[in-house]
Amino acid sequence: MQLFKEGLVINPPSTNGTLTQPDSKLRARYHAVRNMSEQICRPLTPEDCVIQSMPDASPIRWHLAHTTWFFETFVLKPSRPGYSVYEPAFEYLFNSYYNQVGEQFPRSQRGLLSRPGMAEVMQYRQVVDHAIDELLEDEENGQLDELFAVLELGLHHEQQHQELMLTDVKHLFSCNPCSPVYRPRSDPHPAPLPPMDWMPGDEGVRWIGHDGEGFAYDNEGPRHEVLVQPHQLASRLVTCGEFLDFIDSGGYERPELWLSLGWQTVTQQAWRAPLYWQQHDGQWNHFTLAGREKLKPNEPVCHVSFFEADAYARWAGCRLPSEAEWELAAAENGDMVGATFAESQRFHPASAPSMDDGRLQQLFGDVWEWTASPYTPYPGYQAPEGAIGEYNGKFMCNQYVLRGGSCATSRSHIRATYRNFFPPEARWQFTGIRLAK
Q: C-beta of 1: minimal distance to Fe ion in Å?
A: 24
CB of 392 to Fe ion, least distance (A): 11
Q: For residue 205, what are the β-bridge partners?
A: 227
Instruction: Give the contacts of 195 (CB within 8 A, at least 6 positions apart).
Output: 235, 356
Q: Which is nearer to Fe ion, 157 or 403 (CB)?
A: 157
Residue 105, phi then psi, degrees to nearest 5: -65, 140
Which residues make Cβ contacts (< 8 Å) with residue 224, sequence separation at least 6? 207, 208, 209, 378, 379, 380
Minimum CB separation from Fe ion for residue 39, in Å?
19
Closest CA to 363 of 260, 292, 432: 432
Nearest distance, CB of residue 341 and Fe ion, angstroms:
20
Please state, as a whole number, how many other Cβ atoms lie within 10 Å of the Cβ of residue 250.
10
Residues linked to residue 85 through DSSP beta bridges, in sequence order:
none
* C-alpha distances out from residue 381 to 259, 319, 320, 414, Å: 29, 28, 25, 21
Closer residue to Fe ion, CB minimum distance, 96 or 409: 96
Beta bridge partners of 226: 206
Residue ranges binding Fe ion (CB under 5 A) = 96
Half-sphere exposure of 96 (CA within 13 A, CB side): 22
User: Which runs of E-coded beta strand occur in 60-157?
Assistant: none
Q: How far apart are CA 334 and CA 360, in angstroms?
A: 8
Beta bridge pairs of residue 420: 402
Least CB distance from residue 408 to Fe ion, whole Å? 16
Count the Cβ atoms, other than its own, within 10 Å of residue 380. 10
| Eight-state DSSP code of residue 123 | H
Considering beta carbons, is residue 158 or 310 the nearer one to Fe ion? 158
Comparison of 52 and 96: residue with beta carbon closer to Fe ion: 96
Q: Which is nearer to Fe ion, 96 or 235 (CB)?
A: 96
C-alpha to C-alpha distance for 429 and 52, rounded to whole angstroms = 16
Nearer to Fe ion, 96 or 417 (CB): 96
Question: Which residue's CB is nearer to Fe ion, number 113 or number 244?
Answer: 113
Tell me the backbone φ, ψ of residue 62, rounded to 5 degrees: -65, -45
In the complex, least distance from residue 64 CB atom to Fe ion, rounded to whole angstroms: 12
Nearer to Fe ion, 277 or 422 (CB): 422
The distance of closest approach from Cβ of residue 96 to Fe ion in the complex, given in angstroms and rounded to an integer, is 5
- Of the pair 79, 96, the CB lying nearest Fe ion is at 96
Cα–Cα distance for residue pair 219/378, rounded to 1 Å: 7
Output the residue with the shortest Cβ distance to Fe ion: 96
CB of 271 to Fe ion, least distance (A): 28
Q: What amino acid is encoded at 193 in this protein?
A: L
Min dist. Cβ of residue 278 to Fe ion (A): 32
Backbone angles phi, psi at 356, to 5 degrees: -115, 105
